[in-house]
Amino acid sequence: MSTNPGVPSLAALTPHFAITVLECDRPGAGAFGALRRFLRATLADPGRAHAVRLRGERLLTAPGTEIEGLGTLADLGIGSLYVLVRERWQSPRWSRHVTDLTHELTVALSRHHLVALHSTVSSALLRRWVRDPETPYRFVPEPVLAETFPDGGGLVASPAWSRLTSPARLDFPTFVAETTDALDHLAKTLERAA
């Protein structure tokens, strides 16, 4: 997918560092495609919202693909990058007569056999999908996450949910660097555990 007007420049994004880490037991383009299809279908469903609209998405998979202002996927050590922006119209809990519009960002970044997912997809829906035997992804085992980040190092690890969070809002280059660093640390711990 090329540049999409519904997705701002990637270099201009400033997401909070909150990622769920998934391990792929069948790496490859098909696996990342399955994750992308799950995210797209799940985020297209309004659930309790009045309505949702997928405003735009970008999929980057070729190693030589340039991320504006950051370098190529190969330079950054990223296998695939998927970004989706969703608009959600929902009433606040305090009134049914008011509708709020919220823009939500989803980022999925693969590095080797690990994927970092930043999304508003509910933990319950993600957990149900990951438990399906046909799904090529699994949560990183709790002991691995706890061993990799015992004191956090600025991150809060939630091993039961395979999540890493930080209160910081990061510019996109820093988000990518922090995410790939966390995935590298997890990969080393997984290698030692194997």
Pairing of strands 114-118, 100-111: antiparallel
pLDDT score at 1:
43
Quick check: is 25 in a domain?
yes
pLDDT by residue, tens only, the chain of 194 residues: 445 778 888 888 888 888 999 999 887 669 999 999 999 999 999 988 999 999 999 999 999 999 888 899 999 999 999 999 999 999 988 988 899 999 999 999 999 999 999 999 998 999 999 999 999 999 998 888 888 877 655 667 776 668 888 877 888 988 998 899 989 989 999 888 87
* pTM of the full structure: 0.89
- SS3 of 93-116: the string is CCCCCCCEEEEEEEEEEEECCEEE
Quick check: is 154 in a domain?
yes
Q: Give residue 138's domain range.
A: 17-193
- CA torsion 101-33-1-163 (nearest 10°) is 50
Quick check: is 8 in a domain?
no
Quick check: is 160 in a domain?
yes
Quick check: is 2 in a domain?
no
Q: Residue 100 has which token pair?
A: 């709020």
Quick check: is 187 in a domain?
yes
Quick check: is 5 in a domain?
no
pLDDT score at 131:
94
Quick check: is 4 in a domain?
no
Domain count, the chain: 1
